[in-house]
Amino acid sequence: MKSALFIQKVRDIYQEASEFIPLHAPVFSGREKEYLIETIDSTFVSSVGKYVDAVETFGASYTKTKKAVAVVNGTAAMQVALRLVGVRPGEEVITQALTFVATANSIAYNGAQPVFVDVDRDTMGMSPTALKNFLEEFGDRQGDKVINKKTGARIAAVLPMHTFGFLCRISEIKKICDEWGLPLVEDAAEALGSFMDGKSAGSFGQIGTFSFNGNKIITSGGGGLIVTNQEELGLKAKYITTTAKRPHPFEYYHDELAFNFRMPNVNAALLLAQFEKLEAYRQSKSAVYSAYKEALVEADLNLVPVPETTTQWNHWLISVQLESRVDRDSFLKETNAKGVMTRPIWQLMYSLPMYDNCQRDEQTNAKFLEERIVNIPSSVI
């Protein structure tokens, strides 16, 4: 009964009687075609061009950071960010197991190992209490290093993720990182347009990273952004994402192993037009959430509320909380069979074969959420 009534409510909200309703479809209602045609006509479709510059300027301005660097995707942004704060092979990065696989992969791409601490139930992001408890039990200060007593490896950074655009308790996490001398990198892939007391997601740590994949609130098809308030880190990010090539009129000289992670100008053209519509999309998605808030009471479904940590939410993906894994699986099966796309929250990272040997705490809240949280259609209307 819950599923049937829910399906009808979704179809009412999206005014779609029978066709498939996706989880989150991209919308191109701005100047995308104009900017793309201009880019093609200019022939600057690759790694340099005015739209790359414009996106980086807009990104820094919007997040109120000093420097933004456009890259090929959010995973690459995190991989570079971790390298910039000093993560090296054989070291460890504390993160959360309740996340998209890119978070853990970005650590592994640096030759490092994830360590998983629990999340808070309301934010679904890293719990500062879990982080504090882990460091007090396993952290050993040795000069300017923090060594994991259990593994003997250096703990090189902390990487929380802002789940579905909700800000985790990032100010508390930052305070803990500062006390322990640990760099803080934010996985804000899902959180562009989310703020805490006027401060943007991604701007609390040394570096923040965003994604512009096709399912995000704005998209460039693929794409990512690195933001920082440390000018030197921003310049270094630009340098090592553009193959570490020394400026010269014609010589090709590269002075360190780096990456070809540049966002093409053609993608940046698309993204700039999307940036210009960001606030309109956020407001539209807020209206969707309000409609669900009213409709799902009748369907007897628990809409996940906005946590107190997030004073402005981007409403990227809206969620419901079911009563058990059995209820969750039944709901997923019935809704998808009827053409209304729903998706479970991610499988916990340590349940994947690449990360099953990683150190972790009890994961009480992460397990609870994994069994119950389902994303529902959240597209702009």
Q: What is the pLDDT along the chain (381 residues), one digit of tens a residue?
A: 589 999 999 999 999 999 999 999 999 999 999 999 999 999 999 888 999 999 999 999 999 999 999 999 999 999 999 999 999 999 999 999 999 999 999 999 999 999 999 999 999 999 999 999 999 999 999 999 999 999 999 999 999 999 999 999 999 999 999 999 999 999 999 999 999 999 999 999 999 999 999 999 999 999 999 999 999 999 999 999 999 999 999 999 999 999 999 999 999 999 999 999 999 999 999 999 999 999 999 889 999 999 999 999 999 999 999 999 999 999 999 999 999 999 999 999 999 999 999 999 999 999 999 999 999 999 999
Which residue ranges make up each domain of the chain?
A: 2-27+278-347+372-376, 32-276
Q: Interior CA angle at 206 toward 205 and 211, to 5°?
A: 75
> Residue 161: beta bridge partners?
187
Domain at 2-27+278-347+372-376, CATH class: alpha beta
Helix H or strand E encompassing 141: strand 139-142
Distance CA 211, CA 215 (A): 9
**What pLDDT score was predicted for residue 206?**
98
Distance CA 349, CA 264 (A): 31
**What pLDDT score was predicted for residue 63?**
98
**What pLDDT score was predicted for residue 48?**
87
CB 127 within 8 A of CB 369: no
**What pLDDT score was predicted for residue 47?**
83
**What pLDDT score was predicted for residue 154?**
98
Distance CA 10, CA 320 (A): 13
Domain at 32-276, CATH class: alpha beta
